[in-house]
Structure 1
């Protein structure tokens, strides 16, 4: 199972990969990545940032920080280091079960543009498989307990079931789209590899006369 700290680290690295940010802006952006109803506290973010600084993954952007401090209340601006870029590349390309979990899938999805088509498809298929397993469990549980549930609890169960079914359909559409794009890319690559022209294949008139 994915740890929430892993998703937070990936979110911070991915955002700083795009541009340097101070802690307040990072908190807003990470909260948006984590999804509705999940607010990232400073008590979670700043220990993570300090640890990442100690690990050499991020560093204080001194030039930007000094400019900010001279104009308004001091804020530390963070930037990605070379080690941080390598760590981001490793995390974002990881397509195992940890990338399919509720806590981390949305963060991985947000940085899909930095991954290969193969990685995207593996993560999408893994997420769909995980949700299909969840659907089977919920349907089985609902069938067994339907008679004992009041109508409000039953509606809540149905609402959850509908939400998961919608996400499964959405994932299936994304997977199909990725496969079409992947196939088109392969055809383009294959076409680009054909360099022989008709002029190369057809003997010249001068050669025929000989």
Structure 2
């Protein structure tokens, strides 16, 4: 998830390390407790893999392989940019629409980069997320029905609040899915059948179709 968030952010614009941290904190902070300690190992791995490059003058600490820090009141001037390989890797990550993209943390990051994602993939992720939440709703409702009599009023209200939150997200997903389907072309237009080669009959022939045969005199 962090790899997708970094590559997706750098795809939009090259960023200094400090700017990248701020952007990731705004993005990932909505879905998880983002640790800066996990960012720099990720950046080093992306650099080693050739997915990003560094531009600009790096402080001595960064040049030695350590995390960039504020030295003498001056922030690191390293700018991170995507390479061609990084763009390919980002597209590969954006096509992943399986169960891992439906979970609470990863769904939000995938959704944040939906503008770079193909329509069919967006729809699969939204439908998968809805299915996952509907399964969760069934489980919560069943558990609530079994334990309702044994719960105090505060615990009961907390469970109801959780249930209503999931129901709101399902309604939101229903609206998004309907919008995606209205915007997507019909299946026949997305995957048209191969056109048959058609040859018009030559003058004086008595048949039409792909293999016209001249009439005998």
TM-score class normalised by the smaller sequence:
0.7 to 0.9
The equivalent residue for 1:197 is: none
Residues 93 and 87 of structure 1: is their aligned pair in 2 closer, same or farther, counting only changes over 3 Å? Answer: same
The equivalent residue for 1:29 is: 23
Q: Structure 1, residues 25-47: CA drift from partner, whole Å, max 9, x if none?
A: 11221122224373422211111
The equivalent residue for 2:185 is: 183
The equivalent residue for 1:115 is: 117
Deviation at 1:108, TM superposition (A): 0.5
Which has the higher Rg, Structure 1 or Structure 2?
2
The equivalent residue for 1:87 is: 89
Pair 1:49 & 2:43 matched = yes
Q: Structure 1, residues 74-101: CA drift from partner, whole Å, max 9, x if none?
A: 3321111111101000001111111111
Over 6 Å off, 4+ runs? 184-187
Q: Which has the higher helix share?
A: 1
- Given that 1:35 and 1:106 are in contact with CA atoms closer than 8 Å, whether structure 2 keeps it comes out as no
The equivalent residue for 1:62 is: 56
Q: Which runs of 5+ in 2 are unaligned?
A: 60-70, 193-217
The equivalent residue for 2:75 is: 73
Q: Structure 1, residues 7-31: CA drift from partner, whole Å, max 9, x if none?
A: 1100000000011112221122112
Aligned length: 180
TM-score, normalised relative to structure 1 = 0.78
Q: Distance in 2 between matches of 1:36 and 1:164?
A: 16
Secondary structure of 1:165's match?
A: helix
Secondary structure of 1:40's match?
A: coil
Q: Structure 1, residues 175-197: CA drift from partner, whole Å, max 9, x if none?
A: 0000000138987xx9xxxxxxx
Deviation at 1:110, TM superposition (A): 0.8
Pair 1:13 & 2:7 matched = yes
- Given that 2:17 and 2:76 are in contact with CA atoms closer than 8 Å, whether structure 1 keeps it comes out as no
Residues 14 and 109 of structure 1: is their aligned pair in 2 closer, same or farther, counting only changes over 3 Å? Answer: same
Q: Which runs of 5+ in 1 are unaligned?
A: 1-6, 191-210
Query: Greater relative contact order (Cα 8 A, min sep 6): structure 1 or 2?
Result: 1
Q: Distance in 2 between matches of 1:33 and 1:186?
A: 37
Secondary structure of 1:183's match?
A: coil
